[in-house]
Amino acid sequence: MEEEPVVQTPGTASADNVGFSYFSINKGMGKSIQTQNDESTVTQRKNLVLGSFLTEEETSPTTASIDNVGFSYFPQKGKKEKDWEARSYVNLPDWMKDNAYIKSGYRPELQSFSQCFKSIFRIHTETGNIWTHLIGFLVFVGITIIFYIKPFCETCDREIKLSEKLTFLFFFVGAMICMGVSSLYHTVQCHSQKVSKSFKKMDYAGIVTLIVGSFVPFIYYAFYCQRTTQVVYLTTISLLGLGTILVTLMDRFGTPEYRKVRAALFVCLGGFGFVPGIHCITSNGWDDAVKNLNMDGVLLMAFLYIFGAFLYGMRIPERFIPGYCDIWCQSHQIFHTLVFIAALVHYKAVSSTGLFRMSLAGQCEE
């Protein structure tokens, strides 16, 4: 980062300047540097006047300097020794470099879980990613509790089977694991390379659990009266999910070069849903599939996932406006939000299908 020439003006800011005469003023981009340099200079002056010397620890927060370019909204006052300042992309260690279109606002390598968790409440490149899925996780905890406490259906024509309750549990657990683990990964992602790598794998495995978990109630109700087909599809998606998790465990899979492969693999796993989907439409007819089996909701869910994965893989919008999505509206946050909305849409669709299956019209002919 090029710095503009330093303009030196005589110190006029009150008693702090005792015995010393210069402030460094950087214009424009380096406002926070200016604040820090001012503080640094002031502190040094005070200490020199008082005849004392700064220890290395005391000086370090004020010498972090160049990484803070453009970030002036982090509190400077009352800063604790271990507090961190946001970094720009170029100043990150290589292992943290993932998306060059996100220019600044990064947390540094914190090497501390407590610092990572405290950073949930600060503004940086991961704040949006953490909260979009933390909120999603909490919403699904709420939905799950309500679902099992409140009777599923008060006007049903038959008892709810245990297998039906379990079917929904797969979906709820998949959604909670996916969003819970994702939020956790984004929280501790700056701890260290080792921690980041392990949690990233869990994050990918979480996406697989949501995809597979979403299939379970859909296939269960769509092929409610065709047990063999139901079992074949459920077994197939479970095996495909297991295979995908094994691939995601490979170290190479988490690297930036594999971003498009990752997006494509998850889309393929989700895209397998078109097989039972088309099967269901052809055997029931489009009208019945939409009316009774809420196929429109399932298709909307699929579209949201695929669209989100596309934005994530292509890094849209930040590739068109680099540096403008550093904190909000990055592709990753949009992807998270679409995953959350897609899970809600899917829940609405499969629970409506469940209600249909509990009515007289939805029961199997003997």
Residues binding Zn ion (CB under 5 A):
182
Question: Minimum distance from CB of 15 to Zn ion (Å)?
Answer: 50
Task: Please choose, from the candidates 135, 72, 121, 127, the residue with its C-alpha nearest in 3D space to the C-alpha of residue 102.
Answer: 127
Task: Please choose, from the candidates 179, 104, 140, 211, the residue with its C-alpha nearest in 3D space to the C-alpha of residue 337.
Answer: 179
Question: Minimum distance from CB of 41 to Zn ion (Å)?
Answer: 41
DSSP character for 5? P
Using alpha carbons only, how large is the chain's radius of gyration in Å? Answer: 27
Question: Minimum distance from CB of 185 to Zn ion (Å)?
Answer: 7
Token representation of residue 187: 């929280």
**Cβ nearer to Zn ion, comparing 222 with 339:** 339
**Cβ nearer to Zn ion, comparing 74 with 253:** 253
Distance from C-alpha of 92 to C-alpha of 104, rounded to nearest angstrom:
10
Distance from C-alpha of 237 to C-alpha of 247, rounded to nearest angstrom:
15
Distance from C-alpha of 29 to C-alpha of 201, rounded to nearest angstrom:
37
Q: How far is CA 103 from the centre of its chain?
A: 18
Alpha helices in the chain (DSSP H): 31-50, 56-63, 113-118, 127-149, 162-188, 193-222, 227-248, 259-271, 274-284, 286-291, 295-314, 331-358
Measured from each CB, the residue nearest to Zn ion is 182
DSSP character for 2? P
Question: Minimum distance from CB of 332 to Zn ion (Å)?
Answer: 6
**Cβ nearer to Zn ion, comparing 73 with 328:** 328
HSE (CB half, 13 Å, CA atoms) of 190? 25
**Cβ nearer to Zn ion, comparing 68 with 119:** 119
C-beta of residue 149 within 8 angstroms of C-beta of residue 141 = no
**Cβ nearer to Zn ion, comparing 45 with 200:** 200
Question: Minimum distance from CB of 278 to Zn ion (Å)?
Answer: 30
**Cβ nearer to Zn ion, comparing 37 with 182:** 182
Task: Please choose, from the candidates 183, 204, 152, 189, the residue with its C-alpha nearest in 3D space to the C-alpha of residue 340.
Answer: 183
**Cβ nearer to Zn ion, comparing 67 with 98:** 98
Could you give the 3-state DSSP secondary structure of residue 24?
Answer: strand
**Cβ nearer to Zn ion, comparing 30 with 180:** 180
Question: Minimum distance from CB of 310 to Zn ion (Å)?
Answer: 15
Question: Minimum distance from CB of 20 to Zn ion (Å)?
Answer: 49
Could you give the 3-state DSSP secondary structure of residue 273?
Answer: coil
**Cβ nearer to Zn ion, comparing 200 with 357:** 200
Token representation of residue 31: 């406002």
**Cβ nearer to Zn ion, comparing 68 with 182:** 182
Question: Minimum distance from CB of 129 to Zn ion (Å)?
Answer: 5
Q: Which residues have a Cβ under 8 Å from the Cβ of 332 and sit 6 or more positions away? A: 99, 128, 129, 312
Question: Minimum distance from CB of 263 to Zn ion (Å)?
Answer: 12
Q: Which residues have a Cβ under 8 Å from the Cβ of 354 and sit 6 or more positions away? A: 152, 153, 164, 168, 217, 221
Question: Minimum distance from CB of 336 to Zn ion (Å)?
Answer: 6
